């Protein structure tokens, strides 16, 4: 059975005959919404976005309309709009498709958003590795400029806004919005402390700034097109619109699916969408929305009362509906929608070590708990996988993680701690078993690929 | 410092687009690294002077971001993704195979100066794991079996200056089929 998709922002992704040039985009109704939007009042556009209930698609899930509402319009300083195209959360590869295949959708979404917030200038901060993506965007912006859709006096409206593509240089931390702002200012991507540095008041060049994810800005176009009220009817209460689920790891057919929030379950995504586990394998664990989200163990049960329906629920991982409310009830988050799937060939301790190595590499080094803690966890878990582990390493790992979360400037501390905090209690027995067996010189799970 | 006329023009056009000159630090580092191959002391000082900064303000950027390098690298730059989704599909084995075939360890350049291998963190193409970026092209599903052998052949031809694939990355989509 195929999975039921509802393609809004992904409407033209992988479509036969669709190209990323402006002629194709206009032929498919492109830039009509921008024309309509430029005749409306900016505050009405902002109200539509607020009414839509759209939550940011960059990971944190903060309501976009609220973010815009916090903008300091009275400071008299210029306002900036920045698109976060740093897509660096492991497991996430949804924005890549939008940037490469439908760049004009992003440009239109950005120009509508820039007009709505009165931005003086806008930027796309794209990760350094997307070299061709940056070239595609630059070409697309020039096409749009030639048609007076970007730049000076857009569509004869007296409103002007330039759009600059700015490449990062391989630092994960620049996906954090204040780190991104520092990087855009030409510095190291050290996140800023909030308060006082909320971007909506003190952002780029200490001016009011909005940083939104690629998918979020593309959604804005569709919100203005169909109206905020109408958009809020898609999905579930508290999580409107669609989610792009990008599945990777050990399934038959990894891929991306745009799904109405709550319209299908994790099981349907993995079996109907991705063809289930590899031959002869069983699912063991999933990380639902990007590497830093809390891990779920296949077979565990989640029980409680659902706030939306008021009904009791009793779910296995496969029963969880794909919306951020339900995912939150299971102690994790849908976040970027980048799901990483592991089966029974995976050595969970090696997986842990792989994750810890990532955060140790990507900590910016500003805060001691994260800088020292992530390196320590990496050393510890690498040691545990190499046959030199001790039983007490397992609680020690958890102890270190507990001392990182909540003690850092930005959420990288939580990102590094959550995988450990969630995986250790769930897979502790396997870790201890492995430590014991490896001391006897046996390889723990010879069927899977090495992960460290 | 010797820079091509084309690049100097590009730089002079780029800087005024930013509200603050210093914002052009990252783009200038990219542009000069692309032309010179790496960022030397001379390049860093040139960028600093161009943007009215102290050289230290450029150094701190160059040393922070993984993509900037202070030494020349091999003719072909191979980046294998290390992070979980790729590792689950065999990227550690893929990397080992590349190391053996190209004669250099991860993080190093081969003695003949032809290849540099890096084992990098997630490059955001997780559904097509394992992925390998060769210069600015992305190769998908480079599993440690025959797919890696095919890529090794291509990489060797690239080092000889041959143009191997006309299509840029993202080849799944008809728009990129050339």
Per-residue DSSP letters for A437-450?
A: HHHTT--S-TTSPP
Instruction: Count CA atoms within 13 Å of residue B146 on its CB side.
Output: 0
Residues A263 and A223 in one domain: no
**Domain limits for position A265:** 245-343
- Judged against a pLDDT cut of 90, whether residue B172 lies above it is answered with no
Q: Which pair of structure tokens corresponds to residue A420?
A: 């450990």
User: Which of B34, B51, B64 has the highest number of chain A CBs within 10 A, making it the mutation to test binding with A?
Assistant: B64
Q: What is the DSSP letter of B162?
A: -
User: Which of B106, B126, B135, B148 has the highest number of chain A CBs within 10 A, making it the mutation to test binding with A?
Assistant: B126
B95 known member of a binding site: no
CA-CA-CA-CA dihedral for A121, A127, A128, A131, to nearest 10: -90
Omega before residue B161 within 30° of 0, cis? no
Examine residue A160 and state whether it is found in any structural domain, yes or no: yes
pLDDT band at B41 (very low <50, low <70, confident <90, very high): very high
User: Quick check: A90 and B84 CB within 8 A?
Assistant: yes
State the pLDDT at residue A447: 87
User: Quick check: A91 and B65 CB within 8 A?
Assistant: no
Examine residue B165 and state whether it is found in any structural domain, yes or no: no
State the pLDDT at residue A256: 95
Chain B residue with minimum CA distance to A246? B127
- Taking only the tens place, the pLDDT of each residue in B71-102 is 999 999 999 999 999 999 999 999 999 999 99
Q: Which pair of structure tokens corresponds to residue B32?
A: 């000069």
Q: What is the DSSP letter of A302?
A: E
Residues B34 and B100 in one domain: no
Query: What is residue A150's three-state secondary structure?
Result: coil
Examine residue A6 and state whether it is found in any structural domain, yes or no: no
Interface ipTM: 0.96
State the pLDDT at residue B167: 65
Rounded CA-CA distance B92/B98 in Å is 10
User: Quick check: B124 and A14 CB within 8 A?
Assistant: no
Rounded CA-CA distance B24/A381 in Å is 40
- Taking only the tens place, the pLDDT of each residue in A338-351 is 999 999 999 999 99
Examine residue A16 and state whether it is found in any structural domain, yes or no: no
- Judged against a pLDDT cut of 60, whether residue B174 lies above it is answered with no
B81 known member of a binding site: yes
State the pLDDT at residue A446: 78
**Domain limits for position B28:** 5-64
Which of A101, A248, A342 shows the shortest C-beta gap to B126?
A248
State the pLDDT at residue A440: 80
Q: How many domains, chain B?
A: 2
Can you tell me which residue has the tokens 């040139």?
Answer: B46
State the pLDDT at residue B169: 59
Examine residue A376 and state whether it is found in any structural domain, yes or no: yes
Residues A217 and A252 in one domain: no
CATH number at residue B140: 3.40.30.10
B29 known member of a binding site: no
Q: Which of A412-421, A435-444, B37-46, B48-57 has the lowest mean pLDDT?
A: A435-444
Helix and strand tally (H, E) in chain A?
17, 13
Residues A331 and A415 in one domain: no
pLDDT tens by residue, chain A, 452 residues: 689 999 999 999 999 899 999 999 999 999 999 999 999 999 999 999 999 999 999 999 999 999 999 999 999 999 999 999 999 999 999 999 999 999 999 999 999 999 999 999 999 999 999 999 999 999 999 999 999 999 999 999 999 999 999 999 999 999 999 999 999 999 999 999 999 999 999 999 999 999 999 999 999 999 999 999 999 999 999 999 999 999 999 999 999 999 999 999 999 999 999 999 999 999 999 999 999 999 999 999 999 999 999 999 999 999 999 999 999 999 999 999 999 999 999 999 999 999 999 999 999 999 999 999 999 999 999 999 988 999 999 999 999 999 999 999 999 999 999 999 999 999 999 999 999 988 887 778 878 999 99
Residues A56 and A184 in one domain: yes
Instruction: Work out the average pLDDT over B42-65.
Output: 98
Strand partners, A209: A80
Close Cβ partners of A284 (under 8 Å, ≥ 6 residues apart): A297, A298, A342, A343, A344, A346, A348
B104 known member of a binding site: no
Residues A215 and A324 in one domain: no
State the pLDDT at residue A2: 83
Can you tell me which residue has the tokens 């603050």?
Answer: B20
Please state the pTM of the whole predicted model. Answer: 0.96
Residues B60 and B80 in one domain: no
Examine residue A305 and state whether it is found in any structural domain, yes or no: yes
CATH number at residue B39: 1.10.10
Give A288→chain B minimum CA distance, Å. Answer: 13
What angle (nearest 5°) sits at the alpha carbon of residue B131, between those of residues A254 and A16? 55
pLDDT band at B171 (very low <50, low <70, confident <90, very high): very low
State the pLDDT at residue B164: 84
Examine residue B170 and state whether it is found in any structural domain, yes or no: no
Rounded CA-CA distance A180/A185 in Å is 9
CATH number at residue A396: 1.20.1440.230
State the pLDDT at residue B168: 61
- Is there a contact between A251 and A269 (Cβ–Cβ < 8 Å)? no
Close Cβ partners of A143 (under 8 Å, ≥ 6 residues apart): A21, A22, A104
Examine residue B171 and state whether it is found in any structural domain, yes or no: no
Whats the size of chain A, residue-wise? 452
Residues A283 and A418 in one domain: no
Contact list, A27 vs chain B (CB under 8 Å)? none
- Judged against a pLDDT cut of 50, whether residue B177 lies above it is answered with no
Residues B99 and B134 in one domain: yes
User: Quick check: A291 and B84 CB within 8 A?
Assistant: yes
Chain B residue with minimum CA distance to A21? B175
Measured N-to-C along each axis, helices A214-226 and A42-52 cross at an angle, to the nearest 10 degrees, of 100
Strand partners, B139: B132
Pick from A327, A132, A137, A330: nearest CA to A217: A137
């Amino acid at each position: 059975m195929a999975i039921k998709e509802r393609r809004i922002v992904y409407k033209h992704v992988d479509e036969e005959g669709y190209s990323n040039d402006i002629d194709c985009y206009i032929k498919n109704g492109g830039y009509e919404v921008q024309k309509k939007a430029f005749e409306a009042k900016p505050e009405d556009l902002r109200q539509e976005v607020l009414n839509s209930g759209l939550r940011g698609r960059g990971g944190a899930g903060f309501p976009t309309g609220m973010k815009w509402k916090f903008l300091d319009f009275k400071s008299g300083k210029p306002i900036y709009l920045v698109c976060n195209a740093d897509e660096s959360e492991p497991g996430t590869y949804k924005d890549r498709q939008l940037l490469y295949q439908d760049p004009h959708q992003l440009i239109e979404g950005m120009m509508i958003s820039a007009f709505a917030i009165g931005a003086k200038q806008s930027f796309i901060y794209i990760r350094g590795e997307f070299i061709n993506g940056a070239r595609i965007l630059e070409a697309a912006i020039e096409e749009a400029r030639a048609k007076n859709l970007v730049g000076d006096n857009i569509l004869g409206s007296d409103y002007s806004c330039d759009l600059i593509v700015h490449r990062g240089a391989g630092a994960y931390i620049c996906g954090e919005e204040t780190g991104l702002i520092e990087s855009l200012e030409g510095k190291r991507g050290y996140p800023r402390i909030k308060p006082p540095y909320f971007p909506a008041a003190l952002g780029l060049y200490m001016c009011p700034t909005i940083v939104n994810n690629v998918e979020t800005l593309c959604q804005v176009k569709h919100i203005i097109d169909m109206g905020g009220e109408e958009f809020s009817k898609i999905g579930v209460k508290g999580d409107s619109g669609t989610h792009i689920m990008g599945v990777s790891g050990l399934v038959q057919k990894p891929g991306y699916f745009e799904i109405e929030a709550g319209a299908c379950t994790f099981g349907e995504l993995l079996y109907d969408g991705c063809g289930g586990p590899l031959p002869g394998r069983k699912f063991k664990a999933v990380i639902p929305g990007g590497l830093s989200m809390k891990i779920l163990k296949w077979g565990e049960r989640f029980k409680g009362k659902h706030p939306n329906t008021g009904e009791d629920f009793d779910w296995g991982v496969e029963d969880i509906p794909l919306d951020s409310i339900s995912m939150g009830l299971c102690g994790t988050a849908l976040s970027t929608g980048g799901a990483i799937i592991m089966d029974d060939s995976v050595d969970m301790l090696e997986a842990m070590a792989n994750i810890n190595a990532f955060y140790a590499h990507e900590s910016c080094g500003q805060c001691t708990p994260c800088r020292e803690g992530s390196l320590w966890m990496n050393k510890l878990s690498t040691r545990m996988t190499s046959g030199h582990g001790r039983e007490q390493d397992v609680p020690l790992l958890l102890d270190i993680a507990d001392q990182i979360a909540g003690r850092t400037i930005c959420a990288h501390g939580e990102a590094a701690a959550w995988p450990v905090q969630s995986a250790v209690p769930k897979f502790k027995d396997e870790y201890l078993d492995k430590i014991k067996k490896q001391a006897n010189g046996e390889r723990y799970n010879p069927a899977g690929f090495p992960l460290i | 410092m010797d820079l091509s006329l084309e690049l100097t023009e590009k730089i002079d056009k780029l800087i005024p687009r930013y509200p603050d000159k210093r914002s052009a630090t990252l783009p200038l580092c990219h542009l000069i690294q692309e032309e010179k191959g790496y960022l030397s002391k001379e390049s860093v000082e040139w960028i600093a002077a161009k943007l009215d900064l102290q050289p230290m303000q450029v150094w701190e950027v160059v040393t922070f971001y993984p993509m900037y390098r202070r030494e020349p690298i091999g003719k072909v730059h191979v980046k294998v993704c290390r992070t979980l989704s790729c590792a689950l599909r065999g990227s550690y084995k893929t990397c080992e195979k590349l190391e053996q075939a190209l004669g250099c360890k991860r993080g190093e350049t081969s003695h003949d100066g032809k290849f540099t291998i890096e084992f990098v963190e997630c490059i955001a193409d997780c559904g097509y794991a394992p992925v390998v970026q060769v210069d600015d092209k992305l190769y998908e599903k480079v599993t440690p079996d025959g797919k890696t052998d095919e890529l090794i052949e291509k990489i060797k031809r690239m080092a000889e200056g041959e143009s191997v694939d006309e299509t840029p990355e993202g080849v799944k989509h008809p728009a990129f089929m050339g």
